[in-house]
């Protein structure tokens, strides 16, 4: 649980900032998806955008956690 929040919360904060900056600068109607202009309504694009940013940031947090394990934790996983 603790690990889960450590992954999800910082990524949520960063995703919120990225979402605001990204969509202030870029009009969702001006985006292209796989070579086709995006035809979703803007609310959908914003929402998917946010969830995608969150996912990406969470992946980064997860990687941090993964590399943070000490040698001891890797050598003796059953003790932790």
Partner 1 sequence: MNSTAPNPSPKAPPPPEGDTLYAVRQKVYVRAVTGLFANWRWALVWFTQIVFYGLPWLQWNDRQAVLFHLTERKFYIFGWVFWPQDVFFLAILLIISAYALFFFTAIAGRLWCGYACPQTVYTEIFMWIEEKIEGDRNKRMKLDKAPMSPRKLGIKAAKYGAWGAVALWTGFTFVGYFSPMSELLASVATLGFGPWEMFWILFYGAFTYLFAGVMREQVCKYMCPYARFQAVMFDPDTLVITYDEGRGEPRGARRKGVDSATAGKGDCVDCGICVQVCPTGIDIRNGLQYECIGCAACIDACDQVMDKVGYPRGLIRYSTENAIKRGWGTKEIIGHVFRPRTLVYGTVLIAICVAFVWGLATRDPLRVDIIRDRASLGREVAGGMIENVYRLQVMNMTEVPRNFVFDVKGINGIQIAGDHRVAVEAAATQAVTLQVLVPYDAGKPGANEIVFEIHPEDDPSLKLFEKTTFLFPR
- The C-alpha atoms of residue 36 and residue 62 are separated, in whole angstroms, by 32
> Which of 21, 32, 24, 28 lies closest to 46, judged by CA?
28
CB of 75 to partner 1, least distance (A): 20
70 binds partner 1 (CB under 8 A): no
The footprint of partner 1 on this chain (CB under 8 A) covers a number of residues equal to: 14
9 binds partner 1 (CB under 8 A): yes
Residue in 11, 22, 25, 65 binding partner 1, rule: CB under 8 A:
25
65 binds partner 1 (CB under 8 A): no
CA gyration radius for the chain? 17
CB of 1 to partner 1, least distance (A): 6
> Which of 52, 51, 64 lies closest to 6, judged by CA?
64
CB of 48 to partner 1, least distance (A): 9
């Amino acid at each position: 649980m603790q690990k889960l929040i450590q992954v999800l919360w910082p990524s949520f904060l960063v995703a919120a900032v990225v979402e605001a900056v990204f969509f202030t600068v870029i009009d969702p109607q001006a985006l292209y998806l796989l070579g086709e202009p995006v035809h979703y309504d803007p609310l959908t694009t914003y929402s998917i955008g946010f969830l995608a940013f969150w996912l990406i940031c969470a992946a980064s947090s997860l990687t941090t956690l993964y590399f943070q394990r000490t040698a001891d934790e890797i050598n003796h996983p059953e003790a932790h």
